[in-house]
Amino acid sequence: MKIGIDLISFHTPSYVLDLRTLAEKRGVDPDKFVIGIGQERMAVVPPDQDIVTLAANAALPLLDKAGRDNIELVIFATESGVDQSKAAACFCQGLLQLPSACRCIEVKEACYGATASLRMAAAMVAARPHTRALVLAADIARYDLASPGEPTQGAGAVAMLVSAHPRVLALDPETGFYTEDIMDFWRPNYRDEALVDGKYSTRMYLTTLLEAWKNYKAASGRALLADHAHFCFHLPFTKIAYKSFERLCKAEGVPLPSKEELDRLLEPALLYNRQTGNTYAACVYEALASLLDNAPGQLDHQRIGLFSYGSGCMAEFFSGVVQKGYRQHLFTDAHRAMLDSRTPVTYRQYEDIFNYGVPKDGADHVFAPYRGGPFRLAGIKDHKRRYEAK
């Protein structure tokens, strides 16, 4: 029985900062951001959006299309949690009017959380094939202003419906994972901005990629190029996809393909991330949505290799086969329209929004309405977040 992603939908905030504007303000050559790390724009999150609204906004079109029956599990993967106790999935259960006979939980392991969630969802569906699971991944990547991580900030959410007989991507059972206890990126409870040793984190990403690939290869017997038509990597910045693929080729003794061939293999998966910035847990699935939406040819029956990395650290290389007729089940037009209709912000507006945040003094607060999807954070009253449908 095939199990995998039946539908996949992506959402990002309605405001955006051009990294050339940021480069000018920071006195940096814009090519460092655009070419050196491969990022063009970053999503800017208005105060009335958070991970709950981003995820609910991603999930609504998918649920409108697929219905809500038999969804018995909602797993929310994030490292930007809004509460230390209540799972973000419970807020979404209410907003999205999901069944009450449903398990709702939140999962964390940095940017790897959504892959753990997908695997758990697939296991539940394998045990109870008449049921479905909703995996939500949403994050807001925040670093200190003027820090090296600043140009890699971003925000977004991906919603995936997991089912038997999936219409988009059937997951292969073989997988390769690897873990190690390290401190490359973390966010202590008292901070809103992540701390990152960027160079070390990049080194560990590439090291664990090879370990996870080795374990995947041992489990599946598959070859790098002969058995995989495209690759989706976790994307703290898009340049890392090229570095990753080079490492894999070197490890396998495969000559590095030409620039044109490399672009053909990797570029379609990078288009969305380059426009949104890092979406942490959602990243690799945003890359998958980007690939499915933008690959120039048909991907029917083709195998995609995916690499998920979460700092701290946890890495997994796995794969899936694109299902025949997948194109008619995508949200391509909506994704493109959303990215094309975002409002550009000035540097000043970006800094104001960055510093506004969500008040932490415990007082009641009402949020002014900004542009966004169907759900927003209306306010905080008696220490409770109040969400509303527009």
Q: Could you list the active site residues?
A: 79, 111, 234
* Nearest-approach distance from CB 248 to ligand COA, in angstroms: 16
Q: Single out the residue of 113, 154, 236, 312 in contact with ligand COA (rule: CB under 6 A).
A: 236
* Nearest-approach distance from CB 280 to ligand COA, in angstroms: 8
* Nearest-approach distance from CB 241 to ligand COA, in angstroms: 12
Q: Does 37 participate in binding ligand COA (rule CB under 6 A)? A: yes
Contact segment (CB under 6 A) with ligand COA among 35-43, 51-59, 116-124, 370-378 equals 35-43
* Nearest-approach distance from CB 224 to ligand COA, in angstroms: 21
Q: Which of residues 123-162 bind ligand COA (CB under 6 A)?
A: 148-149, 152
Binding mask 92-121 for ligand COA (x = CB under 6 A): -------------------x----------
The secondary structure of the chain, three-state, reads: CCEEEEEEEEECCCEEEEHHHHHHHHCCCHHHHHHHCCCCEEEECCCCCCHHHHHHHHHHHHHHHHCCCCEEEEEEECCCCCCCCCCHHHHHHHHCCCCCCCEEEEECECECHHHHHHHHHHHHHHHCCCCEEEEEEEEEECCCCCCCCHHHCEEEEEEEEEEECCCCEEECCCCEEEECCCCCEECCCCCCCCEECHHHHHHHHHHHHHHHHHHHHHHHCCCCCCCCCEEEECCCCCHHHHHHHHHHHHHHCCCCCCHHHHHHHHHHHCHHHHHHCCCHHHHHHHHHHHHHHHCCCCCCCCEEEEEEEECCCEEEEEEEEECCCHHHHCCHHHHHHHHHCCEECCHHHHHHHHHHCCCCCCCCEECCCCCCCCEEEEEEECCEEEEEEC
* Nearest-approach distance from CB 41 to ligand COA, in angstroms: 15
Q: Single out the residue of 24, 35, 94, 223 in contact with ligand COA (rule: CB under 6 A).
A: 35
Query: Which residues on neighbouring strands pair with residue 101, listed in sequence order?
Result: none
Q: Does 29 participate in binding ligand COA (rule CB under 6 A)? A: yes
Q: Does 263 participate in binding ligand COA (rule CB under 6 A)? A: no
Q: Which of residues 169-188 bind ligand COA (CB under 6 A)?
A: 185
Q: Single out the residue of 47, 81, 198, 379 in contact with ligand COA (rule: CB under 6 A).
A: 198
Q: Single out the residue of 9, 12, 49, 201 in contact with ligand COA (rule: CB under 6 A).
A: 201
Q: Does 216 participate in binding ligand COA (rule CB under 6 A)? A: no
Q: Does 31 participate in binding ligand COA (rule CB under 6 A)? A: yes
Which residue lies nearer to ligand COA by CB, 36 or 47?
36
In the complex, the residues that contact ligand COA under the rule CB under 6 A are 29, 31-32, 35-37, 111, 148-149, 152, 185, 196, 198-199, 201-202, 205, 236-237, 278, 309, 311
